[in-house]
Amino acid sequence: MDVILNINNLKYNNIFKDLSIYIEKNTITAISGSNNCGKTTLMRILNRDIITDSKIIYKGKNINDYKQEEYSKNIQVIFPQDILFQEKTIIEELRIQQDELDINKIDFVMSKLKLKKIQNKDISLLSDKEILLTQIAISIINSNEIIMIDEIDNYFTKNELINLYKFFNQCINRYDLTFIITCLNLDSTIYVDELYIISNGKILLKGEPLRVLDKDNVLNKEGLDVPFIIDLSVKLKDYQLINKIILNQEEMIEELWK
Protein backbone atom coordinates (compact mmCIF):
# COMPACT_ATOMS: atom_id res chain seq x y z
CA MET A 1 0.00 0.00 0.00
CA ASP A 2 1.49 3.32 -1.15
CA VAL A 3 0.04 5.92 1.23
CA ILE A 4 0.43 9.45 -0.11
CA LEU A 5 -1.53 11.28 2.62
CA ASN A 6 -1.77 10.13 6.23
CA ILE A 7 -4.23 11.84 8.59
CA ASN A 8 -3.22 10.40 11.93
CA ASN A 9 -5.44 10.82 15.03
CA LEU A 10 -6.73 14.24 13.99
CA LYS A 11 -8.22 16.28 16.83
CA TYR A 12 -9.89 19.65 16.30
CA ASN A 13 -12.28 21.49 18.63
CA ASN A 14 -15.33 19.29 19.26
CA ILE A 15 -15.53 18.21 15.61
CA PHE A 16 -12.77 15.60 15.38
CA LYS A 17 -11.79 13.46 18.35
CA ASP A 18 -9.49 10.85 16.85
CA LEU A 19 -9.83 10.83 13.07
CA SER A 20 -7.47 8.69 10.99
CA ILE A 21 -7.62 8.43 7.20
CA TYR A 22 -5.01 6.92 4.89
CA ILE A 23 -5.13 7.97 1.25
CA GLU A 24 -3.52 5.60 -1.20
CA LYS A 25 -1.75 7.02 -4.23
CA ASN A 26 -3.58 6.82 -7.60
CA THR A 27 -7.02 6.17 -6.12
CA ILE A 28 -10.38 7.92 -5.74
CA THR A 29 -11.39 8.19 -2.08
CA ALA A 30 -14.85 9.33 -0.99
CA ILE A 31 -15.46 10.75 2.48
CA SER A 32 -19.09 10.84 3.61
CA GLY A 33 -21.21 11.29 6.68
CA SER A 34 -24.30 13.12 7.86
CA ASN A 35 -24.60 16.90 7.64
CA ASN A 36 -22.32 18.72 10.10
CA CYS A 37 -20.05 15.69 10.61
CA GLY A 38 -17.02 17.77 9.59
CA LYS A 39 -16.45 16.94 5.92
CA THR A 40 -15.87 20.54 4.84
CA THR A 41 -13.87 21.30 7.99
CA LEU A 42 -11.59 18.38 7.13
CA MET A 43 -11.05 19.80 3.65
CA ARG A 44 -10.30 23.22 5.16
CA ILE A 45 -7.67 21.59 7.36
CA LEU A 46 -6.14 19.81 4.37
CA ASN A 47 -6.13 23.11 2.48
CA ARG A 48 -4.33 24.64 5.49
CA ASP A 49 -7.04 27.24 5.99
CA ILE A 50 -7.27 25.75 9.49
CA ILE A 51 -4.00 24.88 11.23
CA THR A 52 -3.93 22.09 13.82
CA ASP A 53 -1.22 20.42 15.87
CA SER A 54 -2.27 16.99 14.66
CA LYS A 55 -0.01 14.84 12.54
CA ILE A 56 -1.02 15.05 8.88
CA ILE A 57 1.71 13.65 6.68
CA TYR A 58 1.99 14.22 2.94
CA LYS A 59 4.81 12.24 1.30
CA GLY A 60 6.67 11.79 4.58
CA LYS A 61 6.42 15.42 5.72
CA ASN A 62 3.94 17.32 7.88
CA ILE A 63 1.68 19.47 5.70
CA ASN A 64 2.43 22.52 7.89
CA ASP A 65 6.11 22.30 6.96
CA TYR A 66 5.60 22.86 3.21
CA LYS A 67 5.99 26.26 1.63
CA GLN A 68 2.68 27.50 0.26
CA GLU A 69 3.76 27.51 -3.38
CA GLU A 70 5.04 23.93 -3.25
CA TYR A 71 1.99 22.69 -1.34
CA SER A 72 -0.50 24.40 -3.69
CA LYS A 73 1.27 23.02 -6.73
CA ASN A 74 0.99 19.46 -5.48
CA ILE A 75 -2.34 19.60 -3.64
CA GLN A 76 -5.36 21.46 -5.00
CA VAL A 77 -8.54 21.70 -2.90
CA ILE A 78 -11.75 22.86 -4.57
CA PHE A 79 -14.55 24.44 -2.56
CA PRO A 80 -17.33 25.02 -5.13
CA GLN A 81 -18.87 27.83 -3.09
CA ASP A 82 -15.54 29.73 -3.01
CA ILE A 83 -14.52 29.56 -6.68
CA LEU A 84 -13.31 32.90 -8.05
CA PHE A 85 -11.68 33.53 -11.41
CA GLN A 86 -9.34 36.33 -12.44
CA GLU A 87 -10.00 36.32 -16.15
CA LYS A 88 -13.08 36.64 -18.34
CA THR A 89 -13.06 33.28 -20.18
CA ILE A 90 -12.06 29.69 -19.40
CA ILE A 91 -9.22 29.61 -21.90
CA GLU A 92 -7.78 32.87 -20.55
CA GLU A 93 -7.96 31.51 -17.01
CA LEU A 94 -6.07 28.39 -18.07
CA ARG A 95 -3.32 30.44 -19.66
CA ILE A 96 -2.58 32.60 -16.63
CA GLN A 97 -2.34 29.58 -14.33
CA GLN A 98 0.28 27.71 -16.37
CA ASP A 99 3.95 28.54 -16.74
CA GLU A 100 4.11 26.39 -19.83
CA LEU A 101 1.07 25.34 -21.79
CA ASP A 102 0.69 21.56 -22.17
CA ILE A 103 -1.52 21.65 -25.24
CA ASN A 104 -2.18 17.90 -25.31
CA LYS A 105 -3.21 17.82 -21.65
CA ILE A 106 -5.43 20.87 -22.03
CA ASP A 107 -7.09 19.39 -25.10
CA PHE A 108 -7.73 16.03 -23.39
CA VAL A 109 -9.14 17.53 -20.18
CA MET A 110 -11.27 20.16 -21.90
CA SER A 111 -12.67 17.59 -24.35
CA LYS A 112 -13.53 15.03 -21.68
CA LEU A 113 -15.25 17.64 -19.50
CA LYS A 114 -17.08 19.06 -22.54
CA LEU A 115 -15.68 22.54 -21.94
CA LYS A 116 -14.23 23.24 -25.37
CA LYS A 117 -17.51 24.55 -26.75
CA ILE A 118 -17.75 27.14 -23.95
CA GLN A 119 -14.05 27.94 -23.52
CA ASN A 120 -14.53 31.47 -24.90
CA LYS A 121 -17.80 32.13 -23.07
CA ASP A 122 -17.84 34.88 -20.45
CA ILE A 123 -17.26 33.13 -17.10
CA SER A 124 -19.92 35.29 -15.45
CA LEU A 125 -22.50 33.60 -17.71
CA LEU A 126 -21.55 30.03 -16.75
CA SER A 127 -23.79 27.84 -14.61
CA ASP A 128 -22.58 26.62 -11.20
CA LYS A 129 -21.92 23.20 -12.75
CA GLU A 130 -19.87 24.69 -15.60
CA ILE A 131 -17.89 26.80 -13.13
CA LEU A 132 -17.06 23.71 -11.03
CA LEU A 133 -16.09 21.72 -14.13
CA THR A 134 -13.84 24.61 -15.16
CA GLN A 135 -12.13 24.59 -11.76
CA ILE A 136 -11.72 20.80 -11.92
CA ALA A 137 -10.13 21.18 -15.37
CA ILE A 138 -7.76 23.89 -14.12
CA SER A 139 -6.80 21.80 -11.07
CA ILE A 140 -6.10 18.68 -13.15
CA ILE A 141 -4.06 20.65 -15.67
CA ASN A 142 -2.01 22.35 -12.94
CA SER A 143 -1.76 19.79 -10.13
CA ASN A 144 1.10 17.30 -9.76
CA GLU A 145 -0.37 15.02 -7.11
CA ILE A 146 -3.73 15.33 -5.29
CA ILE A 147 -7.03 16.96 -6.19
CA MET A 148 -9.75 17.31 -3.54
CA ILE A 149 -13.33 18.39 -4.23
CA ASP A 150 -15.75 19.28 -1.44
CA GLU A 151 -19.47 18.42 -1.64
CA ILE A 152 -19.20 17.21 -5.22
CA ASP A 153 -22.63 15.56 -5.20
CA ASN A 154 -24.37 18.93 -4.76
CA TYR A 155 -23.64 19.76 -8.38
CA PHE A 156 -23.93 16.57 -10.40
CA THR A 157 -26.49 13.83 -10.97
CA LYS A 158 -25.62 10.21 -10.23
CA ASN A 159 -24.86 9.45 -13.90
CA GLU A 160 -22.79 12.62 -14.25
CA LEU A 161 -20.77 11.61 -11.19
CA ILE A 162 -20.22 8.10 -12.56
CA ASN A 163 -18.87 9.59 -15.80
CA LEU A 164 -16.75 12.03 -13.83
CA TYR A 165 -15.20 9.20 -11.79
CA LYS A 166 -14.42 7.35 -15.02
CA PHE A 167 -12.66 10.49 -16.22
CA PHE A 168 -10.75 10.74 -12.93
CA ASN A 169 -9.51 7.19 -13.45
CA GLN A 170 -8.27 8.16 -16.89
CA CYS A 171 -6.40 11.06 -15.29
CA ILE A 172 -4.95 8.71 -12.67
CA ASN A 173 -3.54 6.53 -15.44
CA ARG A 174 -2.35 9.42 -17.62
CA TYR A 175 -1.11 11.95 -15.07
CA ASP A 176 -0.40 9.96 -11.88
CA LEU A 177 -3.04 11.83 -9.86
CA THR A 178 -4.98 11.01 -6.69
CA PHE A 179 -8.53 12.20 -5.99
CA ILE A 180 -10.38 12.84 -2.72
CA ILE A 181 -14.03 13.88 -2.69
CA THR A 182 -16.55 14.57 0.04
CA CYS A 183 -20.24 13.80 -0.45
CA LEU A 184 -23.50 13.24 1.38
CA ASN A 185 -25.25 11.09 -1.24
CA LEU A 186 -23.90 7.54 -1.41
CA ASP A 187 -25.47 6.65 -4.79
CA SER A 188 -22.31 6.93 -6.88
CA THR A 189 -19.74 5.92 -4.26
CA ILE A 190 -19.68 2.34 -5.52
CA TYR A 191 -17.51 3.68 -8.34
CA VAL A 192 -14.71 4.96 -6.10
CA ASP A 193 -11.85 2.91 -4.64
CA GLU A 194 -12.23 3.63 -0.94
CA LEU A 195 -15.12 4.94 1.14
CA TYR A 196 -14.91 6.50 4.62
CA ILE A 197 -17.93 7.32 6.80
CA ILE A 198 -17.40 9.93 9.53
CA SER A 199 -19.49 9.94 12.71
CA ASN A 200 -18.97 11.64 16.09
CA GLY A 201 -15.52 12.87 15.17
CA LYS A 202 -14.18 9.45 14.18
CA ILE A 203 -14.26 7.00 11.29
CA LEU A 204 -17.34 4.81 11.66
CA LEU A 205 -16.81 2.67 8.56
CA LYS A 206 -14.10 2.39 5.94
CA GLY A 207 -13.08 0.12 3.09
CA GLU A 208 -14.15 -0.89 -0.39
CA PRO A 209 -17.49 0.80 -1.14
CA LEU A 210 -19.53 -2.39 -1.43
CA ARG A 211 -18.26 -3.63 1.94
CA VAL A 212 -19.18 -0.32 3.55
CA LEU A 213 -22.58 -0.05 1.83
CA ASP A 214 -23.36 -3.59 2.96
CA LYS A 215 -23.70 -2.14 6.49
CA ASP A 216 -27.09 -0.65 5.66
CA ASN A 217 -28.39 -0.73 9.25
CA VAL A 218 -25.41 1.31 10.48
CA LEU A 219 -25.68 3.80 7.62
CA ASN A 220 -29.42 4.26 8.08
CA LYS A 221 -28.90 5.12 11.76
CA GLU A 222 -26.54 7.87 10.58
CA GLY A 223 -29.28 9.27 8.34
CA LEU A 224 -27.47 8.13 5.20
CA ASP A 225 -29.46 6.54 2.41
CA VAL A 226 -27.98 3.40 0.90
CA PRO A 227 -28.56 3.26 -2.89
CA PHE A 228 -31.86 1.43 -3.46
CA ILE A 229 -30.48 -1.39 -5.62
CA ILE A 230 -27.74 -2.10 -3.06
CA ASP A 231 -30.15 -1.89 -0.13
CA LEU A 232 -32.42 -4.35 -1.95
CA SER A 233 -29.47 -6.63 -2.65
CA VAL A 234 -28.48 -6.68 1.02
CA LYS A 235 -32.00 -7.64 2.09
CA LEU A 236 -32.37 -10.35 -0.60
CA LYS A 237 -28.94 -11.67 0.31
CA ASP A 238 -29.97 -11.88 3.98
CA TYR A 239 -32.92 -14.05 2.88
CA GLN A 240 -30.53 -16.11 0.71
CA LEU A 241 -32.45 -15.20 -2.45
CA ILE A 242 -29.25 -13.98 -4.07
CA ASN A 243 -25.62 -14.62 -3.15
CA LYS A 244 -23.96 -11.31 -4.10
CA ILE A 245 -24.48 -7.54 -4.15
CA ILE A 246 -26.02 -6.47 -7.47
CA LEU A 247 -25.48 -2.99 -8.86
CA ASN A 248 -28.11 -2.56 -11.56
CA GLN A 249 -31.76 -3.34 -12.12
CA GLU A 250 -31.30 -5.49 -15.24
CA GLU A 251 -28.82 -7.79 -13.49
CA MET A 252 -31.15 -8.03 -10.50
CA ILE A 253 -34.06 -9.14 -12.70
CA GLU A 254 -31.89 -11.75 -14.42
CA GLU A 255 -30.65 -13.08 -11.08
CA LEU A 256 -34.14 -13.38 -9.60
CA TRP A 257 -35.51 -15.14 -12.69
CA LYS A 258 -32.87 -17.84 -12.70
| Residues 213-236: tens digit of each pLDDT | 888 889 989 988 887 777 777 778
Residues 147 and 246 in one domain: no
pTM of this structure: 0.90
Residues 130 and 152 in one domain: yes
3 forms bridges with which residues in the sheet?
Answer: 24
| Residues 149-190: tens digit of each pLDDT | 999 999 999 889 999 999 999 999 999 999 999 999 998 898
Distance in angstroms (rounded) separating the CA atoms of residues 148 and 179: 6
Domain that holds residue 139: 3-226
Residues 178 and 240 in one domain: no
The number of domains in the chain is 2
| Residues 38-48: tens digit of each pLDDT | 999 999 999 99
Residues 140 and 233 in one domain: no
Residues 143 and 179 in one domain: yes
Residues 171 and 194 in one domain: yes
CB 185 within 8 A of CB 74: no
Residues 122 and 232 in one domain: no
